[in-house]
Amino acid sequence: MQAIRAHFDGKKIQVPNELRKAPAGEVLVIIPDVCASESDEASWMRAQEASFAKIWDDDEDSVYDSL
């Protein structure tokens, strides 16, 4: 998985030139500042914690717990 910066022109998402030859596939799009309030944003963050925990809660990453 890789995070990149892209630009939305109002109709489509434009990715950097070096990624235009990447194979087709599913992407995750996160749009900042769409939450109506700080409490909405906090709710979204809590909802995402379980998903991130599944990815980061493993033996390989446990070495970072002691840092």
Q: Are strands 13-14 and 7-8 parallel, antiparallel or unpaired?
A: antiparallel
Q: Where are the domains of the chain?
A: 7-66
Q: What is the pLDDT of residue 23?
A: 84
Query: In which residue are the tokens 């914690």 written?
Result: 49
Q: Rounded mean pLDDT of 31-58?
A: 72
- What confidence score (pLDDT) does residue 18 get? 84
Question: How many CB atoms within 10 Å of residue 23?
Answer: 4
Which two three-digit tokens encode residue 45?
Answer: 């963050």
Determine the 3-state secondary structure of 12 from DSSP.
coil
For the cut 60, the answer to whether the pLDDT of residue 57 exceeds it is: yes
Find the mean pLDDT for residues 24-52: 74
Phi, psi (degrees; rounded to nearest 5) at 13: -90, 130
What integer pLDDT is reported at residue 50 of this predicted model?
A: 76
Tokens of 65: 């717990």
